[in-house]
Copies of this chain bind each other. A is one copy, B any other.
Amino acid sequence: MSIRVAVNGYGVIGKRVADAVRAMPDMELVGVADVATDWRIRTATGLGIAVYAATDSAGDTMREAGVPVAGTLTDLLGQTDVVVDTTPKKVAAANLPLYEAAGVKVVLQGGESHATTGHSFVAQANYASAVGRDMTRVVSCNTTSIVRVLGALQDGGLLARARGVLIRRATDPGESHRGGIMNTVAPEASIPSHQGPDAKTVLPGLDVVTIAAKASHTQTHNHFWTLQLTRPASREEVLGALRAAPRIAFIRMADGLTALNTTVELMRDLGRPRGDMWEVALWEDVLSVEGDEAYLTYQVYNEAIVVPETIDAIRALSGTVTDGATSIAMTDEVLGMRQEFLPVPLGARER
């Protein structure tokens, strides 16, 4: 029997989660809820997705604007096992009583605080502890990537301390009017930025500090790390630890993948839906190790990276799959996730 899933908030993340839920053989998308009347929600209707009104007043507005509304959020929750709340930052917390009343399990996103759910989730790090819980929070795109990469090195016994600079995109490509900055870089006003502490909600033992800034581009983040290792190690040891983890893909400057936009184009070339990259893309031939220090850079496709984590979180809460590795393998197989994007990459051959 399928897990019945609802998505509340059909935005950048919500629409991708809806796509992924529809692709999973063990899940069923009951519907999505939103308050919008514009092209975004109309597209959902065109795809055959049932659209519900997230609030009563929204229902009236949506119907007047010609959006076919299937019912209220309460109606939707009544048919749901797990709801994924992808509403804007801080809205989800207010929805919790409604979810509790309906007796549905809840996956929140990284805009909410850890305290809201008491559990923060990255599949490869702590799937087991979410199994059967009522709620969890999938951490943000930046934090997810940090946990994947630093967690892999920690698991390999190599990581003593991590200091990172996170260059974020200014706004999403379809949202040019919100938060756009032009021809500048805007450093965050405080160091450390919140991502380091946030990663510790999943991996409490990390010694990590992050510095963040926004740059003048609209797609994907770029992280740069200086890592203190537990001991002098070879480059191959470091790469080996990274290769042992799921959801990290390896790219190379030597293949011509020299900037964030080239990988975005590669995803389009690979036929990925929306051009999405769910993996962290780590530049294998940029990574360098000097004694007990390692330096690396990777790309975070912020619109999509939390989608597989969200799918796994649904499964964990539902209790239908109790083993994280099994769930990760199911998700990655269906989405078509990969460790290498190219057959015989040039850079790999040359080293």
Residues on A lying within 8 angstroms of B by beta carbon are 15, 37-40, 42-43, 45-47, 65-66, 163, 165, 167, 170-171, 173-174, 176-177, 180-192, 209, 211, 213, 215-219, 222, 224, 226, 253, 255-262, 264-266, 268-271, 273-275, 283, 285-288, 290, 293, 295-297, 341-346, 349
Contact = CB atoms under 8 A, between A and B. Distances in A.
Contacts of A217: 182-185, 215-216
A217 B42 CA distance: 27
Given A184-B260, A218-B182, A39 B226 contact: no
Contacts of A43: 266, 269-270, 341-342
A253 B259 CA distance: 30
Given A42-B344, A176-B184, A222 B226 contact: no
A234 to B, nearest CB: 16
Given A183-B173, A269-B40, A190 B286 contact: yes
Contacts of A189: 253, 258, 285-286
Contacts of A40: 256, 269
Given A174-B264, A184-B259, 10 more contacts: A39-B266, A43-B270, A46-B341, A167-B185, A174-B265, A174-B268, A176-B186, A182-B218, A209-B290, A211-B297
Of A177, A183, A262, A342, chain B has the most CB atoms within 10 Å of the CB of A183
Contacts of A211: 165, 224, 226, 295, 297
A16 to B, nearest CB: 10
A176 B259 contact: yes
Copies in the complex: 4
A231 to B, nearest CB: 18
Given A224-B211, A273-B271, A39 B342 contact: yes
Given A183-B218, A346-B66, A275 B286 contact: no
Contact of A39 (B187, B260, B262, B349): B262
A182 B171 contact: yes
A118 to B, nearest CB: 27
A43 to B, nearest CB: 4
A259 B181 CA distance: 9
A193 B148 CA distance: 26
Nearest to A338: B46
Contact of A183 (B165, B176, B274): B176
A170 B187 contact: no
Contacts of A65: 346, 349
14 contacts: A39-B257, A43-B269, A66-B346, A163-B226, A167-B167, A176-B261, A182-B183, A183-B218, A185-B259, A185-B260, A209-B293, A209-B295, A213-B224, A215-B215
B182 A170 contact: yes
Contacts of A296: 191
